[in-house]
Structure 1
Amino acid sequence: MAKPALLPTTLAAALVAAFLAPAASAALPANGTASWCYSHLFTFGDSLIDTGNFIHYSTAPGPVARSPYGETFFHRPTGRWSDGRLIVDFIVERLGFPHWPPYLAGKSKDDFRHGANFAVASGTALNQLLFKKKHLNVAQITPYSLGVQIGWFKKVLAVLASTEQERKVIMAKSLFIVGEFGGNDYLHPLFQNKTLEWVRPLVPRVVRSIARSVEALIELGATTVYVPGLFPVGCVPRLLFLLRDDVSGGGCGGERDPATGCLRGFNEGLAVPHNRLLGDMLAQLRAAHPGVTIAYADYYGEVLRLVSAPALGGFDAGAGDSLRACCGGGGLYNANFTVLCTEPGAVQCADPSKYLWWDGLHMTEAAYRIMARGILHGPFADPPILSRCNG
């Protein structure tokens, strides 16, 4: 399978464009917000955009409830799996909305006046029951899968609007972001010693689940839906640490890409097919719903470009630094599983803004800022989210 590639000049131009995208557009209202473009923002996903749902239901939320999580922007743990803001936070700010509470923290209609975030850490596209049937330990897999999150949204919609006409108006004026999904569907089994060959057959089921959820939103009246693809899972520091001794591949995906240091099998044999199939299914949905904007957000391309050329984003560019976690348990990639970021003995970098990866699984605020710009302004989403604000 061919390795996704860009010419160096194209790579540099795309990265610089995302990194240097303007903080405000001349086409926006005088108050500097874009809230007139979308009345609400509704998001579904996992820990990449979970702003606190996990810690509101979990009796043992673990490291995310302790420092140094949240230190960069909020200066305290908020339930975000990063040192600061997430992609969704930058989008919320750019649209002129306040940092609304996560769904499980909402108490009234007023809490959802700008939308809601239904994402839950460890969230999957497939439901927990499927993993149980496959004899996996589901202790680390939330029961709040994509299907459950769609159910939560329907409850919020009923709270916000009492008539069908009111609901249609809200749906038509709202922005929906469905994902990223798939990462946990694949990583949970891999972290339980399943092989790449075991995981690959899940791809069509995962993508179908995402497509069904997008179609469910469209049937409710959604007109603007963004669906991020899978990031390059082969670049995840914890997975790299897990397979640190598998240098030959051996059918397990351990072969390193000489250009990035990432695991080629997991990128080219898992993430790329996932994204290709997702793109095909979204194309089918576009054909079936010509009046609806269904846009693909290229998380794979964004993250791979940052890994390939970290200096262009302002990150440390030393050998292996783009794959090293800022806060972790030491060892190769600073991604030793046995010591978590918040525990005694953890190794923390001096400046998270110079690192792509925060704790070996999640990224830093600095990385999320660039990713958010890439889908707000382009070039990693077509059309960019803010394109609706320029008319």
Structure 2
Amino acid sequence: MAAKPAPLPPVVVVVAAALALCAATASASASPAAANGTTTTRRRSGCYSHLFTFGNSLIDTGNFIHYSTSPGSVARSPYGETFFHRPTGRWSDGRLIVDFIVERLGFPYWTPYLAGKSREDFRYGANFAVASGTALNQLLFKKKHLSVAAITPYSLAVQVGWFKKVLAMLASTDQERKEVMARSVFMVGEFGGNDYLHPLFQNKTLDWVRPLVPRVVRYIAGAVEELIQLGATTVYVPGLFPLGCVPRLLFLFRNGGAGDHDPATGCLRGLNDGLTVIHNTLLRRRLAELRAAHPGVTIAYADYYGEVMELVSAPAANGFDAGAALTACCAGGGPYNGNFTVHCSDPGATQCADPSRYINWDGLHMTEAVYRIMARGVLDGPFADPPIMSRCHNY
């Protein structure tokens, strides 16, 4: 996402979901990895029949480049270089959180929803995430006199609508749909990051953005409630990662406007304590209310904030360069390598030698190395309770 109406959609993130009653058997599955055109053989976990995810560029595996007439930097090298060895529409050097979850469940890499044409394309679920996706819709931003040039029209509500179409393709009767829902794991998010970043990149202040938080959380909770009404029994909802540690925001507020820097991490306290923590606190509270209202449903919070803060606070202990915890691997130079007038794949971009030693990839999104760690925290704990794989066998 650019400083004004940038073509580069901001982070967001991802989110995960898991289910009960796992089969005790695992089956071998050789299937085409749609993302890179190779064939991989993976052992099926036997736990879940489908994985459905909603979100933004943190987990978009290709929807953005399938609808955008000019997808920009993400469609060019070095995006995708680490694993796929070519751009695939993923906003990273390699795999995303959902890719690692898909691998662990034994499913093939997804065909992006917007590229899917048949029931077979959604045999193991679907990824509805679109880069720059928001919980709120474009109309609301327009009413607040914001440019929506960099905001996708495919908000959370639209993505849930897409899911309903896929569910109808997978199951023709109420009983079949109920079975699909009961055996599937849902990831709703992360949402909220773009809802706040779009205004901030249009020169709005933290005081202007903060009142959006209750509405954003209400929209997220509403989507979770809608999925439960459709029969979902396991839903994972991630919170925001620490926005105050994002290189592009550190660059944007380098002259002030987002509070002081935390002496322990260098992150901006205003963006963390004054926005991210408020969002996560309200979201956790709302999810607790949903749990009380739906005691038979697993509604788990995924603590992306805690995961990323742990890495930023002790980068060397987690395998990252200690001096580059808040520096983008591939971006436009300047403080934190966070100048967003030049994108990672543009001529003149500054790129690190080894992305696996960096936490941040392009100033907004994480590296594959970080997504691997984040996925592990949700799959096995301790950053989701219960973790996705907690009820699975033979993995």
Please list the CA deviations of residues 245-286 of structure 1 after superposition, one character each: whole Å capped at 9, or x if unmatched: 11xxxxx32311111111101100111111111001100110
1:373 aligns with 376
How many Å separate the matches in 1 of 2:126 and 2:375? 18
Greater alpha carbon shift after TM alignment, 171-180 vs 29-38: 29-38
How has the CA–CA distance of structure 1 residues 57 and 30 changed in structure 2, closer, same or farther, with 3 Å as cutoff? closer
Equivalence for 2:201: 191
Q: 2:311 aligns with which of 306, 317, 322?
A: 306
- CA, structure 1 residues 28+189, in 2 after alignment: closer, same or farther (shift >3 Å)? farther
Number of equivalenced pairs: 358
1:152-301, aligned counterparts within 5 Å? 152-246=162-256, 252-301=257-306
Q: In structure 1, what is the Cα distance between the partners aligned to 2:293 and 2:146?
A: 37
Counterparts of 2:147 and 2:80 in 1: how far apart (Å)? 29
Deviations 1:75-112 (A, max 9, x none): 00000000000000000000000001110010110000
Q: CA deviation at 1:149?
A: 0.2
2:352 maps to which residue? 349
- Contact 1:50–1:121 (8 Å) recurs in 2: yes
Other structure's SS at 2:52 match = strand
- Structure 1 SS opposite 2:254: coil
In 2: Cα distance, 1:240 partner to 1:209 partner: 28
Q: d(CA) in 1 for partners of 2:275 and 2:379?
A: 27
Q: Does the aligned pair in 2 maintain the 1:69–1:76 contact within 8 Å?
A: yes
Contact 2:75–2:88, Cα closer than 8 Å, also in 1: yes
8 A Cα contact 2:55 2:130, kept in partner:
yes
Q: Which amino acid aligns with 1:380?
A: F
Distance 1:265 1:199 in 2: 12
C-alpha distance in structure 1 between counterparts of 2:286 and 2:103, whole Å: 31
Q: Is the 8 A contact 1:28 1:389 kept in 2?
A: no
Deviation at 1:339, TM superposition (A): 1.2
Cα distance in structure 2, aligned partners of 1:367 and 1:259: 20
1:368-388 CA-to-partner distances (Å, cap 9, x unmatched) read: 000000000000000000012
Matching residue's letter, 1:118: F
Matched, 1:389 2:372: no
Root-mean-square deviation (CA, aligned residues, Å) is: 1.2
Q: Secondary structure at the match of 1:201?
A: helix
Give 4+ residue runs of structure 1 displaced > 3 Å after superposition: 27-35
Q: Does 1:328 align with 2:331?
A: yes
Superimposed CA distance per residue, residues 151-173 of structure 1 (whole angstroms, 9 cap, x where no aligned partner):
00000000000001000000000
In the superposition, relative to structure 1, how do residues 194 and 28 fare at CA in structure 2: closer, same or farther (>3 Å)?
farther
Letter in 2 for 1:240: L
Q: Is the 8 A contact 2:122 2:166 kept in 1?
A: yes
Q: Is the 8 A contact 1:233 1:271 kept in 2?
A: yes
The DSSP-based 3-state class of the residue aligned with 1:323 is coil
Distance change >3 Å, CA 147–CA 310, structure 1 → 2: same
Rounded to whole Å, the distance in 1 between the matches of 2:94 and 2:205 is 33
Higher RCO (CA < 8 A, seq sep 6+):
2
Residues 53 and 128 of structure 2 are in contact (CA less than 8 Å); yes or no, is this contact kept in structure 1? Answer: yes
Q: Cα distance, 1:34 vs. partner?
A: 4.5
TM-score (norm 2): 0.89
Report the AA paired with residue 169 of structure 1. Answer: E
Partner Cα separation in structure 2 for residue 146 and residue 322 of structure 1: 31
Contact 1:34 1:389 in 2 (8 A): no
Residue identity in the other structure for 2:339: N
CA deviations on 1:9-62 (whole Å, 9 max, x unpaired) are: xxxxxxxxxxxxxxxxxx873757344100000000000000000000000101
CA contact (8 A) 2:27 2:45 kept: no
Aligned counterparts of 1:142 and 1:80: Cα–Cα separation in 2: 16
2:255 and 2:292 mapped to 1: Cα distance?
A: 46
Indicate the SS of the match to 1:200.
Answer: helix
Residue of 26, 43, 52 corresponding to 1:29: 26
Counterpart residue number, 1:70: 80
Q: Find the counterpart in structure 2 of residue 107 from structure 1.
A: 117
SS of the aligned residue for 2:325 comes to helix
How far residue 289 of structure 1 moved from its aligned partner, in angstroms, is 0.5
Corresponding residue to 1:52 among 46, 49, 62: 62
Q: Is the 8 A contact 2:27 2:44 kept in 1?
A: no
The percentage of counterpart residues that share the same residue type is 80
